[in-house]
Amino acid sequence: MEGFSGDLNTGASSNGQSINGFVVQPPLPPEGQNMSPEEIALYDRQIRLWGVQAQEKLRRASILLIGLKALGNEIAKNLVLAGIGSLTIVDDGIVTEDDLGAQFFLTDQHLGLNRVQAALPQIQKLNPRVLLSAIPVPILTQPPEFFAPYTLTIATNLPFSTLSTINASCRLSSRPFYAAETHGFYGYIFADLIIHSFVISREKPNVATAIGPETPTRTIVAVSTKPEKENGKTIELVTKCESYSPIVLANSSPLPPFHLSSLRRKRAVTPLLSCLRALWEYQGLTTLPHPSRSHADLELFTTLATEKHKELQLPTETLRAEFLRSFMQNVGSEISPVCAFLGGQLAQDVINVVGGKEQPIQNMLLFDGEGSAGPVYALHPIFPSLEGEVGEEQKEQIGLGAAVVPMVLPGMMPNGAELVSL
């Protein structure tokens, strides 16, 4: 099978690196080797979107994906079709009946087999040019240096403590980190790119673009121009630099001042943030992945969610009993369309980050499929005020407010946050 990196269980190809007998980074094309005419033809449509240079960077990227349930399934599909250089997937799980309901790489003949080993041949068929490898062991058995060879790491469907450990290991090697998970109609994407530079291409505005701070986390570091051949307009290339926080700090960080500046804006903040933080707190207290439907668990989770809501300085009436009930009914489940949406969003962000194009997620995207909302919140431990430096309209545009995926925000109905029953 072309592109395959050797024995699934123990081997690494002759040019790859390995730790504890498992492939760490499959070989990539030599630096001086350009894309062949066949590759250019294969990736023609996306080259038209983000250019040859970005596609070359993708071709040399080595991505580590942890978890191959429904969400990881979608992420793997999108990255492989985009033409990344190599994809290493870590998953020690066994294929069960539940996997068959939300996976398209697995069938009933794979029941009882390791999830990633069973799916890898089907993933390879999507794009034989991508180098694939599988590591069917628990991710926490790997040392911190395990993450160093990869361009970036994506961790899915893991408890908060494991995410924090992986994030810290990635930071030791200055490697970007993503975390993501779905719970039925709900889900999130978290990004810690540490320090990330990217280029925005736009028509040159009438007002000169100033170099300097744009938001508390984003700075414009360079501006240049080039003529556009087709219509004679001048294109402005703006290089920006974003600073990020690790997930352990983002989880305890306050909302940006923009969201707390008025009651209307506080009411617009999704209660999903409070519920997600409550779930992570529950995992730390009980070592269980999510609450059961017992009365004790319902009471504990409701108490935790209420506390997190107060910590965020949000009105108690926006943590509705209906929302708590819906979240707890969905927690731990997988719905294919939600996984497809979040998997597509995350894969596109990875493509943008590797290619150095467009504004990446900063830093927490929350998806509410019930309310068709996908706000992004910049959660950092210190959020200095830019009052007097940035106008209200500009705040909306550059992300001091929630950057919202184009969807409709759900209406907020005032109700108490009393103990819910399922």
Question: Which conformational region is residue 291 in: left (phi greater than 0), alpha (psi within -120 to 50 degrees), or beta?
Answer: beta
pLDDT in tens, 163-179: 999 999 999 999 999 99
Is the pLDDT confidence value at 415 over 90?
no
Alpha helices, DSSP H only, in 215-320? 247-250, 257-260, 263-268, 272-286, 295-311
Coil, helix or strand at residue 262? coil
Residues 6+ apart with CB under 8 A from 176: 151, 152, 153, 170, 191, 192, 193, 194, 196, 353
**What's residue 229's pLDDT?**
64
Task: Kindly state the helix (H) or strand (E) to which residue 55 belongs, with its residue range.
Answer: helix 44-59
Average confidence (pLDDT) over 326-343: 93
63 has which bridge partners?
Answer: 87, 152
- Considering only 52-56, 76-80, 308-312, which range has the smallest mean pLDDT? 52-56
Q: Please, are residues 63 and 152 in contact by the beta-carbon 8 Å criterion?
A: yes
User: What is the model's pTM?
Assistant: 0.84
**What's residue 232's pLDDT?**
72
Confidence grade of residue 396 (pLDDT, cut at 50, 70, 90): very low
Q: Please, are residues 88 and 24 in contact by the beta-carbon 8 Å criterion?
A: yes
Mean pLDDT of the chain: 83
What is the radius of gyration, based on Cα positions, of the chain? 22
Alpha helices, DSSP H only, in 127-246? 160-172
**What's residue 384's pLDDT?**
52
pLDDT in tens, 277-312: 999 999 999 988 889 888 898 999 999 999 999 999
Distance of CA 286 to the CA centre of its chain: 26
**What's residue 195's pLDDT?**
95
- Residue 402 CB neighbour total at 10 angstroms: 25
